[in-house]
Amino acid sequence: MFNNTKGLIRVAAATVSAMALIFTAACGSSSNQSTGSDTADSSDITQQTVTPGKLTIATGEPAYEPWVMNDKPESGEGYEAAVAYDVAEKLGFKKSDVVWVRTTFDSAIAPGAKDWDMNIQQFGITDARKKAVDFSSSYYNDSQAVIVKKDGKFANAKSLADLKDATIGVMVGTLAYDYVKKSIKEDIQTFNDDAALAQALDAGQIDALVTSTVECVYMVQSEQVKDATVLGRIAGSEDKNGMGIVLPKDSKLTAATTKAVDELNSDGTLKQLQDKWLAEYTTDLTELK
């Protein structure tokens, strides 16, 4: 009787152990299923954003025409605003899923974490910037131009050499700085944004400003700088790398964003948007050599 009792205890213990193993295995199976679900979620690009299910896009403050009309990117009007929404759609976001925020130009391309998913405000693609952020492929290739006051002492300049004694302003960290330094002079005044740059020329603090050709034409047409004229386009300044959408370094959205821009280019959408929003800003200008 005693031995049988001990035998029964051993059988009961074995049964309990077996049940525990089965329970543990079941829990493990549940955990693996959860991991599989997480993996599936990670393949959904709309869930890899700063705010899952939303696409946070940054632009300048203010954002200028014709890139963004009336400083309202949420309207989708203006070349960059329209491109942004077409890219968002390619990524699987509805227009209502897009959230707009504002940043300065230089902070957007500085190293470090970002609180947005992508940033679009005429960023030229350069190797130096690629060390800090990611870029999509180019959605536009602009050139650089010069604005002067009509009554200024450099209003009749015919060449880049004629500007060597001018006080020239550019926006910090832009391709304009590189072209001015290479083609005109090394002593250059820098400003944080195009608004400050335009104000400096309007106030007579500088003799000329250099920025993208589209922006130059808009500044004159909108009288951001009063009684000004676009002196001309800098010869050879067309940006071969073009403008790209900026994304945080090693963003999970970079490859998909590049694919979206490439598709918009190949199917003619970018050309259609350029004809709609940029045509009047890219008229023939004098070429400054």
Q: Which CATH architecture has domain 47-141+241-288?
A: 3-Layer(aba) Sandwich (3.40)
12 membership: H or E segment, kind and range: helix 2-42
* CATH node for 144-234: 3.40.190.10
Give me the pLDDT at residue 194, please: 86
Give me the pLDDT at residue 174, please: 87
Cα distances (Å, whole numbers) of residue 18 to 6, 9, 13, 22: 18, 14, 9, 6
Distance CA 264, CA 101 (A): 24
CB distance 129 to 123 below 8 Å: yes
Per residue in 138-171, pLDDT tens?
Answer: 999 999 999 999 999 999 999 999 999 999 999 9
Give me the pLDDT at residue 182, please: 93
Assessment of whether the complete model's pTM goes beyond 0.85: no
Instruction: Please state the rounded mean pLDDT for residues 93-114.
Output: 96
Average the pLDDT over each of 17-21, 34-38, 176-180, 244-248 and give the range with the smallest value.
34-38
CB distance 58 to 108 below 8 Å: yes
Q: For residue 20, what pLDDT band results from cuts at 50, 70 and 90? A: very low
Q: If DSSP codes are grouped into helix, strand and coil, which group holds residue 181?
A: helix
Residue among 169, 214, 213, 217 at smallest CA distance from 193: 169
Domain 47-141+241-288 shares a fold with domain 144-234: yes
Per residue in 236-260, pLDDT tens?
Answer: 998 899 999 999 999 999 999 999 9
Distance CA 134, CA 41 (A): 23
Segment 178-187 long-range contacts (CB within 8 Å, at least 24 positions apart):
179/144, 179/210, 179/234, 179/237, 180/210, 183/234, 183/237, 184/160
Q: For residue 42, what pLDDT band results from cuts at 50, 70 and 90? A: low
User: Does residue 284 register a pLDDT over 80?
Assistant: no
Cα distances (Å, whole numbers) of residue 208 to 6, 76, 159, 188, 258: 101, 32, 13, 10, 36
Distance CA 59, CA 81 (A): 9
Phi, psi of 99 (to 5 degrees): -120, 125
Per residue in 165-214, pLDDT tens?
Answer: 999 999 988 889 999 999 999 999 999 888 899 999 999 999 999 999 99
Distance CA 161, CA 102 (A): 38
Distance CA 63, CA 73 (A): 8
Residue among 206, 213, 169 at smallest CA distance from 191: 169
Residue among 63, 62, 65 at smallest CA distance from 220: 65
For the chain, domain boundaries: 47-141+241-288, 144-234
Give me the pLDDT at residue 43, please: 80
Distance CA 190, CA 194 (A): 10
